[in-house]
Amino acid sequence: MSKTAFLFPGQGSQYAGMGKNLADNFSVARHIFEEADDALGFRLSDLCFKGPEEDLKLTSITQPAILAASIAALTVLQKETGISADYVAGHSLGEYSALVCSGAMTFADAVRTVRSRGLFMQEAVPVGVGAMAAMLSIEEDVLTAICEDVAEGEVVSPANFNSPGQIVIAGHATAVNRAIVLAKLKGYRKAMLLTVSAPFHCALMKPAAERLMDVLDCILIQKLSLPVITNVEATANQDAFRVRELLVTQVCSPVRWEQSVNEMINLGVTRFVEIGPGKVLTGLVKRINKDMELVNVEDSTGIRAAA
């Protein structure tokens, strides 16, 4: 019997207007945004619905905003269609949406936690010191060797294994630029710096990980009703006692997205439902395996398509 996985997007999927269609048409979605506003003590909903884009790009705003839009879409999907998942996964920040879906943490706890997580990640490295770059059409072992060759005592390492031929690196800006130069010298010419506020998922995020542990220690992690395919291990976890450790490790470790999708396929998943703003993960799954059924749910049209 074929299985379904719910996927939740991470940073970079945000846009002004996300969630507004659902909030306008479904009271359960409005309630989620109201709960986010109450939990945070400011009008996150206004930033989601109206922007401005510049504010939405601030990591400490982006993370709770995407989480709220994703959980609003999930709540409508479940109420209107009754569709359920066999597995859940999220890209970086999206893992928190997956954990809310699995019942591991409440939405209010999650939205407050990712607000702090975004702030910690933003503050971990001074602006301009770190960088990230997308490296295309390059093999993992070759790129890992390039990073080791150019480090020169600085940090540079793979941060996202997104899909075949798409790996993102992160670290000190000077080391990331050296990696781009060496990759091009070796014939890998498709390399570009990304517009990001910090070098995520590398060793420079260690201060953020340590601060996040203190926040996670204060929230209740409950029994998981669904297995979460984790970014760190790309395997299913349903052990509540491991959730904190995996979320803290995730901040400094690469997101193993390609491996996570392949693991879900190996477990029998044939239908992937991306829930939340944008279609980034749908595009990545398509590049990983063209034979999967793909659905994107971010508005009323997506709800109807998923039914």
Do 26 and 143 sit in the same domain of this protein? Answer: no
Q: What is the CATH number of the domain that holds 151?
A: 3.30.70.250
Do 136 and 24 sit in the same domain of this protein? Answer: no
pLDDT of the residue at 307: 82
Do 208 and 272 sit in the same domain of this protein? Answer: yes
Residues in the chain, pLDDT under 50: none
Do 259 and 289 sit in the same domain of this protein? Answer: yes
From 196, 216, 234, the end of a domain falls on 196
pTM for this entry: 0.96
Do 111 and 183 sit in the same domain of this protein? Answer: no
pLDDT of the residue at 1: 79
Do 23 and 89 sit in the same domain of this protein? Answer: yes
Pairwise CA distance, residues 277 & 63, whole Å = 12
Hunting for tokens 């953020």 — which residue is that?
Answer: 208
Q: What is the CATH number of the domain that holds 87?
A: 3.40.366.10
pLDDT of the residue at 25: 96
Do 285 and 251 sit in the same domain of this protein? Answer: yes
CB 291 within 8 A of CB 128: no
Do 11 and 91 sit in the same domain of this protein? Answer: yes
Do 111 and 216 sit in the same domain of this protein? Answer: yes
Do 139 and 119 sit in the same domain of this protein? Answer: no
pLDDT of the residue at 131: 96
pLDDT of the residue at 286: 97
Catalytic residues: 92, 201
Do 43 and 138 sit in the same domain of this protein? Answer: no
pLDDT of the residue at 204: 98
In the chain, the number of structural domains is 2
From 196, 212, 238, the end of a domain falls on 196
CB 102 within 8 A of CB 226: yes
From 173, 196, 219, the end of a domain falls on 196
Residue 175 belongs to what domain range?
130-196
pLDDT of the residue at 197: 84
Do 217 and 273 sit in the same domain of this protein? Answer: yes
pLDDT of the residue at 195: 85
Is the backbone peptide bond immediately before 64 cis, with ω within 30 degrees of 0? no
Tokens of 51: 């922007």
Long-range own/partner contacts, residues 295-303 (CB < 8 A, 24 or more apart): 295/271, 297/73, 297/74, 297/77, 297/273, 298/18, 298/19, 298/22, 298/69, 298/73, 299/21, 299/22, 299/73, 300/21, 300/22, 300/25, 302/73, 303/22, 303/76, 303/77, 303/80, 303/81
Pairwise CA distance, residues 85 & 272, whole Å = 9
pLDDT of the residue at 196: 86
